[in-house]
Amino acid sequence: MPTPTERIDHYFALAARPELEPYVAQFAPDAVVEDDGQTHVGIDGVRAWRRSVPGVSYGVRAVADTSTGSHVATTEISGDFPGSPVLLGFAFTFDDRGLISRLVIAP
């Protein structure tokens, strides 16, 4: 099974591509995504959220484990939006199958 860092690298590789389904396939069926004050639940919620995300580029600066079992990727996000680029933390929690069960995106 890939390491958490390898899974995170794979996540950002897919996030940079326009294809939606390979991106969504890395989430557990009951996954929860928290982004910009909104919570999105399940594959349909993740799919709808992802459709609303503008095209941006990602530059992972660091990945750290937390005491809660998640892994936080400090990431520079660049794109056509006010304040670009910004640094955001992507906190990943993976299930036993290596799928993303929770993703929290915050400054």
Per-residue pLDDT, 55: 84
CA 85/CA 57 separation, integer angstroms: 9
Amino acid at site 12 = F
Decide: 94 and 20 in contact? Cβ < 8 Å.
no
CATH fold, domain 4-106, is Nuclear Transport Factor 2; Chain: A, (3.10.450)
If the chain, 107 residues long, is cut into consecutive pieces of 10 residues, what is the mean pLDDT of each piece?
A: 92 95 98 97 97 91 90 95 93 96 97
CA 50/CA 40 separation, integer angstroms: 10
CA 36/CA 25 separation, integer angstroms: 22
Structure pTM? 0.94
Per-residue pLDDT, 81: 84
